[in-house]
Each structure stands twice: as C-alpha cells, then as structure tokens.
Amino acid sequence: MSALREALAAEAARLGFVAFGIAPADAAPAAGARLRQWLAEGCHGDMLWMAETESRRASPRGLWPEVRSVVMLGMSYASPHDPRRLAEHPDRAAISVYAQGEDYHEVVKKRLKTLARWLVAAAPDAGVKVFVDTAPVMEKPLAEAAGLGWQGKHTNLVSRAHGSWLFLGSIMTTLELGLDLAADAPHADRCGSCDRCQVACPTAAFPAPYRLDARRCISYLTIEHKGPVPDEFRAALGNRIYGCDDCLAACPWNRFAAVAQAMQAFRPRAELAAPRLADLLALDDAAFRAVFSGSPIKRIGRDRFVRNCLYAAGNSGDAALRPAVAALAGDPDPGVADAAAWALARLAERTAASTH
C-alpha cells in the first residue's frame, strides 16, 4: 500500500493536483456535530439542501457505507492579480477569482475521474467514487484531516504552500490505503492571533472566529440567495457581482501561494477580469448564456446576475449608468425590477449629494 500511495500521489501531481493527502473515512468525527449546530442556528439561509442532506454530509460513511479511505486533492487557482484591485473602479464589476476562468466542477472532476481510473487499474478490486462540490461531502474537514491544510478563522482551508486558492476534490475508495504519518497527519492550526479575515469582511459575516453566518456573506448573497438582497447589505456589496474574496485576500498565508502552480484553465478570461457594468446590464438571457458558457456563473441565471449588477450600478455613483438601469425598471423578474428601482434611487441620492 505504501508503494501504491506513492504512485497515486505521483499520478495526481501529473494531472495537475498540487495538494495530496489520505484520510481514513472516519477521520473528522467532530464535523457532524459542528454542522448540526450551524444548521440549528439557521446560518445556512436558503441552502435548504444542506439540512436535507445533513445525515449523509456528516460522515463519508453516511454517503457510502463501504468507504474506508478518502483521497483528498487540491488544484490551485491562485491569481496573478490582487482580488481586491477593482474596489477603486466602481464602473467595473468584481467577480470572485474562482469564477473568472473555466468551471472548476468540470475541470477538477475530469481529472479526478482519470485518477480514479488509474487507481482501479492499479488495484482492480477497489471501489471508487469521485466528488467535487456536487454531493454532500465535507471537503474542508477531510482535507484538514488528510494534512492539506487547516480550516482558518474564515472557515476556508488554508495551505502553507497554496494559501486558500485551492479547489478541493475527493476520491472515496473501499481500499484501506496506507497512510504516511508525516504527510497525512491532520494539520495544525496556524492562524494564531491574526484576525485580518474577520476585520476584512464587509458585512460582518463572522460572528466569531471559525464561524460563518452565510446569511451575511456576500458570496452567499450574490450566488445562493434568491429574490431581493436585504436592504442592510446592498451598499456593502459595492461592485461585487459574483462572490467575494475579501476574507481570503486579507489572509497573510496567501502571500506564499505559488501563482505558477495554478491550473491554466483557471486563468482569468479577459472579458471577466474587469468587465464594464454597462455591458453586463445589457445582457438578455441568450447573451448571458453565451458570455458565461463554460463558467460557473452560468448556473445562477441571468435574472440573479443582473440583479447583482444593478446593486453595483447603484453603488457606483456613475450617472452614466442611469439609462441602462432605468431600462430594467420594468423587468418581468421581480428581483431585477426591485434592484433597478433601488439603484435609480441610490444614484439620484448620490448625484444630489455631489451637487451640494
């Protein structure tokens, strides 16, 4: 098994995975209790599927009773650009780093399947299942247990070598894979007294270190939340129209992320690195689908996306955007129409304030 593990790690590296570790299926026993408390507090908001799948999500064996080992893998999407560089350019739309390139679901899963086929060829009796953010798997606690990093105070995984810019995937197997006690040991928490991620959050989404209230998180509000965003958060969205990287970008460990090791497929597409709000506001459903083909952004649909762009337009203070915003005031989608009305009112307020 030691030789198989080494060969598996080498094949994973050949396929572009920069982080590798193995954990027993029962390696994160406390994760289930933390999940149940989080759900009981209602911190999952509209993500009802998390409560519906809680019993399977709490442990890999709840999802697949035969699993014995979990191979955890990380693929880098470290960007050459500062994720917060567009904060001073309100006419531009800020898109989370992870969504500026190809859809990670497709890229990572394809390579996971290739690696799983390699494993079955090497060990024909092995049963395998691959997962990448599309099933009730608690990737971050398992990655921590497998030695890839630790869950930081912002609740995301932090790697000493790759910062927080890792897409996680897993291969569950019926094999009892031998563990490397040095490489696969659970990672120690190295956040120390640092609170930069907590301070950086525009909406105070962290009620305490290591706890996230998704209902206040910009990533949740712009991606998962249906209908109008609560009034109290709209100004704080700034020009962020899909996700938010502020807590990750603030983490000192990201200074060590090796941009050169990022998968080429995740390099920012030119049209998504700093798109003009005026162009995005003009997208109808067909144009939206064309622009975001092959992007994870496509899954939220045109209506939710344009809703987010309207909040950004209202926050921009750019009077030149008023015609584009006004054109959406009668949109058939209630969320879009509501956002357009809010944006027009906010633009009027800021224009009035600038003339006094």
Q: What residues are annotated to the active site?
A: 133
User: 197, 163 in Cβ contact below 8 A?
Assistant: no
Q: How far apart are CA 90 and CA 312, in angstroms?
A: 8
Write the DSSP assignment of 197-218 as a string of letters.
Answer: HHHH-TT---SBTTB--GGG-H
Residue 104 token pair: 């990670």
Residue 233 token pair: 């958060």
User: 80, 108 in Cβ contact below 8 A?
Assistant: no
How buried is 322 (Cβ within 10 angstroms: 0-12 exposed, 13-18 middle, 19+ buried)? middle
User: 74, 162 in Cβ contact below 8 A?
Assistant: yes
Q: How far apart are CA 299 and CA 294, in angstroms?
A: 10
Phi, psi (degrees; rounded to nearest 5) at 157 = -70, 140
| Helix ranges (DSSP H) in the chain | 2-14, 31-40, 48-52, 54-57, 60-63, 104-122, 139-145, 196-200, 218-223, 231-234, 246-249, 270-273, 277-281, 285-291, 301-316, 322-326, 334-354
User: 230, 139 in Cβ contact below 8 A?
Assistant: no
Dihedral of CA 309/315/316/320: which sign? positive
CA 143 to each of CA 150, 169, 198, 213: distance values in angstroms, whole numbers, following the listed order: 8, 9, 22, 22
φ/ψ region of 104 (left if φ > 0, alpha if ψ in -120 to 50, else beta) reads: alpha
CA 258 to each of CA 75, 77, 198, 255, 353: distance values in angstroms, whole numbers, following the listed order: 12, 10, 24, 8, 45
